[in-house]
A and B are shown apart, each in its own frame.
Chain A
Amino acid sequence: MTSLANQILSHWNYLAVITLMMIGLYIAISRGNLVKKVMGMSVFQTSVILLYVSMAKVTGGTAPILIEGRDDIIYSNPLPHVLMLTAIVVGVATTALGLALIVRINEAYGTVEEDEIVAMDRAEDERDLRSEDAS
């Protein structure tokens, strides 16, 4: 039992990140409001970023900015930092694109609730079918 507890403590970062990730996923799939869904996805994205960066951390390490003439310093891994840095900026750009789509959906349907949009689409489909039958 203590070994499991130890393992949980030494892997705390993964468990914390997974908790955050799942909250983000929950918001994205359980909420009908499209803006709220995007927020959930942003929470998910932040947790993925933290997952990568937490893997780069070295105990006793410091930020990977080299100090001349010192060989005794441990640096954390710079590669995940690079990947996540660009991912954040790409993430905000894609979030903006998603929100722009939502604004257009709102203009077309008058609502951003998924249930209402689906109901409207269904009603329209049925109307089309009926008019086809009539003709």
Chain B
Amino acid sequence: MGGEFTGPFVEMLLFIFMIGMALYIARMRSLFTAAMLFGIFSLLSAGMLTLMDAVDVAFTEAAVGAGISTVLFLGALGLTTSEEAPDSKHGWTALLIVTATGLLLAYAALDMPAYGDPNAPIQLHVAPHYLKDSEQEVGIPNVVTSVLASYRGYDTFGETTVVLTAAVGAILLLGGGVGRVGAGKGRDDEGGRRMSDTPIKMRVRETVILRVVGKALVPFILLFALYVQFHGDYGPGGGFQAGVIFAAGLILHALIFGLDALRRAIPQVVVEIGIAAGALIYGGVGVASMVLGGEFLHYGVFDRHNPAHGQHLGILLVEFGVGITVTFVMVAIFYAFAGRSRQ
């Protein structure tokens, strides 16, 4: 092979680790172990994404996969069961179906362009336009941010709405928790066990090292999230990443100091308003650009003399909206799971 394949070797090794992790997840009967392995799996995939030049995606995956998903899975396990029932009978049929599907997909995949091929169709479509002209048209160096917030602003608005809808669904299914008449408070009195009050959690909260380190870490995590939010035009980052990191910092605080401590700082009402406010800011920027005579989400009209400045302002505002919605959506989902009592 010679020097030809020196590049992908690290990627291949990471992939082998990931496959190993996935097999372990499949085998583990203890769901708690599987949830922790899933966190490792996500962190490995974040490494993989970095190697494939997708730094923005890696950022998101590291915060979401290794942070928030793991907390969500643990929350769900706390409310259901942490042990899987012995093997079901479908094992062999499933294996057969999966092998057949896999072989078919592999056969089809060999007709795809080779890995890293600069002349693959995907590289010749709109990508050259984004890479060549976005500096002129939008005026910010991070092409991912300019595509996300400007060229494909409609998409991102849609995704923000989907995230909002999911949070509304979770709140409707599990209840918003305390702060509402007769919702959370009454449940506590019935002697229901809340996830945040399990004996293990109590012991965690009494650990001095965790409390001290956590207290010192949380402000820096929040500060870092703000940096990621407002530096997203120049480096990797943006509203989605910042929102997830901000929420991860808040959730860490709740895990160490208790749910009620976070609830006192950020009441349910604030969270619910925040979810909608972010999406409203995004939509409002779109409407404002229409009022000024442009199309929906066409930021160029914000500065008639220099459209690139208008673009920059528009991107900053919609990213801010995305950041607010994502932060509060994650916190709302955490509240819904953590505030639910076990029956």
Contact = CB atoms under 8 A, between A and B. Distances in A.
Co-assembled chains A and B: yes
Interface of A: 7-16, 18-27, 29-33, 35-36, 38-40, 42-43, 46, 49-50, 53-68, 74-97, 99-104, 106-107, 111-116
B333 A12 contact: no
Contacts of B94: 26, 29-30
6 contacts: A23-B22, A35-B77, A65-B144, A67-B141, A88-B240, A99-B75
Given A30-B94, A46-B41, A65-B143, A103 B19 contact: no
A14 B120 CA distance: 14
B337 interface: yes
A65 B142 contact: yes
Interface residues of B, number: 108
A62 B142 CA distance: 12
A59 B3 CA distance: 13
Main secondary structure of the interface of A (DSSP, over half): helix
Contacts, number: 304
B19 A68 contact: no
A13 B115 contact: yes
B55 A63 contact: yes
Contact of B45 (A9, A18, A50): A50
A30 B162 contact: no
Nearest to B238: A85
B58 to A, nearest CB: 9
> Which of A27, A50, A57, A106 counts the most chain B CB atoms within 10 A?
A57
Given A55-B120, A85-B238, 5 more contacts: A63-B54, A64-B131, A93-B166, A96-B72, A104-B174
A15 B333 CA distance: 35
A118 to B, nearest CB: 11
A86 B53 contact: no
A43 B173 contact: no
Interface stretch (B106-114, B178-186, B208-216, B281-289): B106-114
B101 interface: yes
Nearest to A22: B102
The 4 A-B pairs with the shortest beta carbon distances in the complex, nearest first, are A59-B116, A93-B166, A30-B94, A14-B109
A23 B65 CA distance: 18
A33 B88 CA distance: 9
A7 to B, nearest CB: 6
